[in-house]
Amino acid sequence: MSIPYTQKVLDHFMHPHNVGKLENADAQATEGSPACGDMVKVYLKVNPSGYRIEDIKFESYGCASNIATGSIITDLAKNKTLEEAKQINWKTANDELGGLPPVKVHCAVLAVDALRTAIENYEHQHGLLKEQVPTTEDLIMKRLSRVINPLAGLDVVRTKLVRECKINNGQAVVFVEMPEDHQFAVNIKNEIIERIEPLWDIDGVNVIFRGE
Ligand code: FES
């Protein structure tokens, strides 16, 4: 049975706007979906006077709905202030696209989450947080629960690839239960660093592989 997409979803899927990598991005974020194992990445260029999004791009490793949502939300976020862009949610995207099939709502949520996390990362890195809550090991594990383990299509915490982390004087150490020469080790390491490094009180991230 084929999924009933609106013409607008199909247009954005076949000719997505703002696709690609933004070199010298001021902030970026990768989000993985626990529902399907897909991923999306959002890059931001922000003008620090007025905190307006000057440029935005996305890369999607997801389905048609995810690509269409990435396309529409990056269109909507461009030239908006960070505060305005934070108001964009999956319902906004859904309405703009003329409605997504209900089984595909999580794909829109994934794209919006990536935009929100990229904004949040920017805020962490530029002292814009309203409340500077100290990073705890629990918070790190929570952030890591959005990093997908490509072996399982589920997150690295749920699949017990990451069971433990430590924080010491602004240095985070994350232990990964996988050999260092595993084909996914570099990917996983980069994603862990990308997730934790932007936190306002973290100065460095050390990823230690200790699996057989
Ligand atoms: Fe994974 Fe749509 S099914 S992003």
What is the residue-level pLDDT of the chain in tens, covering all 212 positions?
A: 577 899 999 999 999 999 999 999 999 999 988 778 899 999 999 999 999 999 999 999 999 999 999 999 999 999 999 999 999 999 999 999 999 999 999 999 999 999 999 999 999 999 999 888 999 999 999 999 989 898 888 899 999 999 999 999 999 999 999 999 999 999 999 999 999 999 999 999 999 999 77
Active site residues: 36, 107
pLDDT at 152: 87
Neighbours of 99 (CB within 10 A): 14
Does the beta carbon of 117 lie inside 6 Å of ligand 1? no
pLDDT at 195: 95
Does the beta carbon of 18 lie inside 6 Å of ligand 1? no
Kindly give the number of the ligand 1 atom that is closest to the alpha carbon of 63.
2
Cα(92) to centroid(ligand 1), Å: 18
Long-range pairs for 179-187: beta carbons < 8 A, 24 or more residues apart: 179/209, 179/211, 179/212, 180/209, 182/209, 182/211, 184/149, 184/150, 184/151, 185/209, 187/150
Q: In the chain, what are the domains?
A: 7-125 (3.90.1010.10), 137-209 (3.30.300.130)
pLDDT at 3: 73
> What's the predicted TM-score (pTM) here?
0.92
d(CA 144, CA 207) in angstroms, rounded, equals 12
